[in-house]
Amino acid sequence: MVLDNLGDSLKKTIKKIANAVYVDSKLVKEVVRDIQRALLQSDVNVKLVLDLSKKIEQRALEEKPPLGMSNREHVIRIVYDELVHLLGESRELPIKKQIIMMVGLYGQGKTTTCGKLANYFKRKGLRPGLIAGDIHRPAAYEQLQQIAEKVEVPFYGNKNAKDAVQVINEGLERFKRTCDVIIVDTSGRHKLEDDLIKEMKDIFQAVKPDEKLLVMDAAMGQQAAPQAEAFNNAIGITGIILTKLDGTAKGGGALSAASVVHAPILFVGTGEHITDFEVFEPSGFISRLLGMGDIKSLIEKAEETLRDKSAERTAKRLMSGKFDMNDMYEQLNMISGMGPLSKLSEMLPVGFSSRLKSQDMEATQEKMKRFRVIIDSMTEAERKNPEIIKSSRIKRISRGAGVEHKDVKELLRYYEMTKRMIQGFSSDRKLRRNLMRQFQIK
Ligand code: GDP
Ligand code: MG
């Protein structure tokens, strides 16, 4: 299938987010780089890739997750949102009386798609009719005629026609009262040449179609965007149909075409048969590409193991009575949304956990964030042994963190208090036994 490689890379990236211990700027930058690489390798338009990655990075670093959503889910959500956005708006062809003109280069799948589209409207209860407007390729007439027979819809064409506009006008006249959806096939060329553009414009002016659909092979590559733009400039595209999605092409080029000309992708062709045809829906498509169906369970599982791991680690530290700034940092992370230490806090003595809680309440999110920034500015020696932090170090750290001296002192006080509590707690023998049992620590 087209875009299999892109899907694989993106799924890997999503897993990376779900399994990350911390969602920090390092992870976000890594993820953005991964996505950039994956999209470029799939031939997605370079400018689009740059815009998209800038957007993802900015949102992931600046936006706070909504209530009840973890940091991981939030970043995954942003990646998903922006990829859906890349594909442009979602639109369905109206189920009503209309004239549809199909355009595209030679061999892209126009004639085949005329049949697929006729079948689609027939199933919706409308009466489609097909007009052979490709007068240049000798076999085009028979090809569309056979397709019309297969779908069992009326067909109009003239094997010896010299003028596309004339044939099409005759067809329109013929189907005026008997058909609801008139689908006009047109000729393509190997390249977009002036005479093709002129013919397209002539047809467009004579027919005044409701829809002008560009049919594009998913294998188009980086050429797709400029091609689509040229068609759009000539007659104004109202929608795109991507064909041959059952192939193994990279596909990103054709996908970018939609974004470049601001026309929605309406359908995709997934094979040579009339029924190998699906309505395209950007969000569903991206969900499948990212493996979104699995994402929720993936995140839940990852968070459970993370929670267990950090709870176990903390439990061990607590029992040993050791507690330094690194532990403090971890605790701050857990308190400020990295997932609650629920398992551990259930086992804590009442006084201990409620004291912890009331301190959480006092210390606002902002303060937690400031504390973490301050710890970031410490050397490893200072983190391991915070007792050495005296006035000259306080000065340096506060400068590094961009805070005032009193903020560093406040963190040190908070640290001392927490440490005292933990040491008191580690000497509680009953609690130690309980913890050891819980985590099967020998
Ligand atoms: P046109 O020149 O644009 O009218 O293209 P055609 O409709 O004649 O199609 C060119 C070739 O592509 C034919 O062999 C079709 O069977 C094939 N084709 C069209 N759509 C699809 C598709 O979605 N999947 C596959 N595998 N082949 C397709
Ligand atoms: Mg054709």
Assess if residue 430 is contained within a domain.
yes
Residues 160 and 206 in one domain: yes
Element (H, E) at 217: strand 211-217
Structural domains counted in the chain: 3
Three-state SS at 88: coil
Bridge partners (DSSP) listed for residue 214: 103, 240
Q: Which of 42, 61, 86 is the last residue of a domain?
A: 86
Any atom of ligand 1 within 6 Å of the Cβ of 269: yes
Which ligand minimizes its atom distance to the CA of 109?
Answer: 1
Shared domain for 283 and 309, answered yes or no, is: no
Q: Is 92 inside a domain boundary?
A: no
CATH number of the structural domain spanning residue 241: 3.40.50.300
Q: What is the pLDDT of residue 353?
A: 46
CB neighbours of 291 closer than 8 A, spacing ≥ 6?
Answer: 7, 11, 14
Atom nearest to 215 CA in ligand 1: 3
Q: In angstroms, what is the C-alpha Rg of the chain? A: 31
Closest to 305 (Cα-Cα) out of 20, 55, 10, 8: 20
Question: Which ligand does the CA of 106 lie closest to?
Answer: 1
* Domain contains 12: yes
**Residue 241 Cα, ligand 1 centroid: separation in angstroms?**
12
Residue with tokens 């005479």: 195
As given in the structure block, the two tokens for residue 218 are 């998913």
For residues 182 and 269, membership in a common domain is answered with yes
Classify 70 as helix, strand or coil: coil
Q: Check if 331 has its Cβ closer than 6 Å to any atom of ligand 1.
A: no
The tokens describing 299, both together, are 């995140």
Decide which of 292, 325, 342 is a domain's last residue. Answer: 292
Q: How far is the CA of 185 from the centre of ligand 2 (A)?
A: 7
> Same domain, yes or no, for 148 and 223?
yes
Q: Which two tokens stand for residue 325?
A: 């700034």
pLDDT digits (tens, 9 = 90+) for 285-321: 888 888 776 666 666 666 666 666 666 666 677 667 7
Best probe residue, ligand 1, of 1, 105, 112, 270 (max atoms within 8 Å of C-beta): 112
CB distance 274 to ligand 1 below 6 Å: no
Q: Is 110 in the pocket of ligand 1 (CB under 6 A)?
A: yes
Residue 377 lies in a domain: yes
Predicted pLDDT of residue 137? 86
Give 113 Cα–ligand 1 centroid separation in angstroms: 8
Predicted local distance difference test score (pLDDT) of residue 325 = 87
Same domain for 309 and 281: no
**93: in domain:** no
> 125 and 249: one domain?
yes
In a domain, 91, yes or no: no
Instruction: Read off the CATH number of the domain in which 37 is found.
Output: 1.20.120.140
Three-class HEC string of 244-307 = CCCCCCCCHHHHHHHHHHCCCEEEEECCCCCCCEEECCHHHHHHHHHCHHHHHHHHHHHHHHHH
pLDDT mean for each 10 residues of the chain (442 residues) = 87 89 91 94 92 95 82 89 88 96 95 97 96 91 96 95 94 96 91 83 94 95 90 94 91 89 94 94 85 67 65 68 81 55 42 47 66 91 93 94 93 85 68 58 44
Helix (H, G, I), strand (E, B) or coil at 25: helix
Check if 278 has its Cβ closer than 6 Å to any atom of ligand 1.
Answer: no
Identify the residue whose tokens are 């470049």.
260
Beta strands in 93-157 (DSSP E): 98-103, 128-133, 155-156
Query: In sequence order, what are the residues at sequence separation of 6 or more whose Cβ sits closer than 8 angstroms to the Cβ of residue 103?
Result: 110, 186, 188, 200, 212, 213, 214, 215, 231, 235, 237
Alpha carbons 383 and 415: distance in angstroms, whole number: 11
Do 184 and 258 sit in the same domain of this protein? Answer: yes
The whole-number pLDDT of residue 344 equals 44
Q: Which atom of ligand 1 is nearest to the CA of 106?
A: 2
Question: Nearest 5°: phi and psi at 313?
Answer: -60, -45
Return the pLDDT at 140: 92
Q: With respect to residue 375, please indicate whether it lies within any of the assigned structural domains.
A: yes
Q: Which domain holds residue 268?
A: 98-292
Give yes or no: residues 130 and 270 share one domain.
yes
Q: Which atom of ligand 1 is nearest to the CA of 104?
A: 3
Q: How close is the Cα of 101 to the center of ligand 1, in Å?
A: 17
Of 292, 309, 327, the domain-final residue: 292
Ligand 1 and 116: CB distance under 6 A: no
Flag whether 283 is in a domain. yes
The first and second tokens of residue 342, run together, are: 């629920």
Please tell me if the CB atom of residue 221 comes closer than 6 angstroms to any atom of ligand 1. Answer: no
Q: CA torsion sign, 332 to 336 to 338 to 340?
A: positive
Q: CB of 314 closer than 6 A to ligand 1?
A: no
Q: pLDDT at position 311, please?
A: 64
Measured in angstroms, how far is the CA atom of residue 268 from the centroid of ligand 1?
A: 12
Ligand nearest to the backbone CA of 135? 2
What ligand 1 atom has the least distance to the C-alpha of 243?
23
Query: Are residue 282 and residue 395 in the same domain, yes or no?
Result: no
Mutate to test the pocket of ligand 1, among 114, 117, 272 (most ligand atoms within 8 A of CB): 272
Q: Are residues 257 and 313 in the same domain?
A: no
CB-neighbour burial class of residue 136 (10 A; exposed 0-12, middle 13-18, buried 19+): middle
Same domain, 132 and 82: no
Collapsing DSSP to helix, strand or coil, 105 comes out as coil
Q: Residue 360 sits in a domain of what CATH number? A: 1.10.260.30
pLDDT of residue 340: 41
Residue 268 shares a structural domain with residue 153: yes
How much is the pLDDT for 18? 86
pLDDT at 334: 62
358 by DSSP, 3-state: which?
Answer: helix
Q: How much is the pLDDT for 324?
A: 86
